[in-house]
Amino acid sequence: MTAVVETEGLTKFYGRRRGLEDLDLEIRPGEVFGYLGPNGAGKTTTIRLLLDVIRPTRGRMSVLGTDPRDPRVRGRIGYLPGELALEGRERASEYLAFLAGVRGGVSRDRITALAERLEADLSVPMGRLSKGNKQKVGLIQAFMHEPEFLILDEPTGGLDPLVQQEFLAMVREVRAAGRTVLMSSHVLAEVEDVADRVGIVRQGRLVAVEDVAALREKAVRRVEFHFDAPVPREEFEGLPGVRDLRVEGANLSCTIDGRPDALIKAAARFTVVHLVSAEPDLEEIFLTYYSEEEAHHARAGVQEPA
């Protein structure tokens, strides 16, 4: 199957300022790709290049197998801009009907169903909508025509936690239907629940692409066991992945790197009263990884002949 997005050396300069440089990115059909980076790193630049809102300085890209300059390809994409502007006296329902018409038609029931799901009121003039409600209208217009490819720039901004959960459920449904999603965020926590892979951009460059499942596997997590009686320390020493082991009477705590299997099997020989396992903080791993990468780049930079 051909990639949904394929870029090669994609570069964008705004005058002399670098927006994005030498991006080689592949997004595969049916995956949810999380696109991460701090503000101003080049996420929105990438997205706007893919939609032909801005034009590359150099490099090559294809979206859904075609050049994004072809307007027809945009009908197969759903797009939520990072800074969505909705204004005026027009009602959201009228605006959605207009967008739906241009994209080839969407049933009124579909729009109503999405609005109910996100608890959006479409009868209010758009200029009077709150930020969160504008974001809901933006999500509805991106999802309503069931596009093959969804591009969502900072989709969760302004949404309350319940709506955020509903939104993530919608993203999962899109993936389950075999369609593809690119969503950007400046924090990993927002995308780690739904993303299959994440890419990190910093200062206009893609510094890493990682599989989220692999990242989880690498994750270091803190575990505590409480037993009904004191346990011998030797039983737990030297288990694969177990570090920082502390045994104090009936309590055991450690961190595990990777799979917890060996530790669980060792603990199962005793009576476990209580188990605490903190959710691994992928963000932390990522940042560690990321700063190593940075340091590596910095060294490479120093070694380069002037």
Partner 1 sequence: MPALVSKSLRDHRRSLVRWTIGIGAFFALYLSFYPNISQNQDLYGDAALEKFPEAMRDLMGGLTGFTTGTGYLHGVVYQLFGPMLFVVCAAVLGNQAIARPEESGTLELTVTLPIDRRRLVFERFAALALGLLGVAAATFLLAWGLSVATDMGVAFDRILAAHTGVFLLGLLFGALSLAVGAAAGRRGPAMAVVGVVAVGGYIVETMGKNVDAVSWLRWVSPFHYYLDGKPLYQGFPGGDYLVLAGAAAVLLVVAILAFDRRDIGV
Tokens of 135: 């974001």
Q: Which stretch binds partner 1 (CB under 8 A): 82-90, 161-169, 272-280, 285-293?
A: 82-90
Residue 124 binds partner 1, judged by CB under 8 A: no
Please, are residues 37 and 207 in contact by the beta-carbon 8 Å criterion?
Answer: no
Residue 40 binds partner 1, judged by CB under 8 A: no
Residue 77 binds partner 1, judged by CB under 8 A: yes
**Residue 42 DSSP code:** S
Residue 71 binds partner 1, judged by CB under 8 A: yes
247 three-state secondary structure:
strand
Residue 169 binds partner 1, judged by CB under 8 A: no
Residue 298 binds partner 1, judged by CB under 8 A: no
34: left (phi over 0), alpha (psi -120 to 50) or beta: beta
Q: Which stretch binds partner 1 (CB under 8 A): 29-37, 58-66, 83-91, 242-250?
A: 83-91
Residue 75 binds partner 1, judged by CB under 8 A: yes
Residue 26 binds partner 1, judged by CB under 8 A: no
User: Cα 130 from chain centroid?
Assistant: 24
Residue with tokens 């797009």: 79
Task: State the distance between the two ends of the chain, measured CA to CA, in whole angstroms.
Answer: 43
User: Cα 142 from chain centroid?
Assistant: 16
Residue 127 binds partner 1, judged by CB under 8 A: no
Interface with partner 1 (CB under 8 A), residue from 3, 99, 209, 245: 99
Residue 276 binds partner 1, judged by CB under 8 A: no
Q: How far apart are CA 141 and CA 111, in angstroms?
A: 8
Q: Compare residues 104 and 301 and give the one whose CB is closer to partner 1.
A: 104
Residue 87 binds partner 1, judged by CB under 8 A: yes
Q: Which stretch binds partner 1 (CB under 8 A): 23-31, 102-110, 160-168, 207-215?
A: 102-110
Q: How far apart are CA 110 and CA 170, in angstroms?
A: 13
52 three-state secondary structure:
coil
Strand pairing category for 149-153 and 180-185: parallel
Residues 129-168 within binding reach of partner 1 (CB under 8 A): 141
Please, are residues 290 and 207 in contact by the beta-carbon 8 Å criterion?
Answer: yes
Q: Compare residues 75 and 230 and give the one whose CB is closer to partner 1.
A: 75
Question: Minimum distance between the CB of residue 216 and partner 1, rounded to whole angstroms?
Answer: 34
- Catalog residues that contact partner 1 under the rule CB under 8 A: 14, 48, 51-55, 71-75, 77, 79, 81, 83-90, 98-99, 101-104, 141
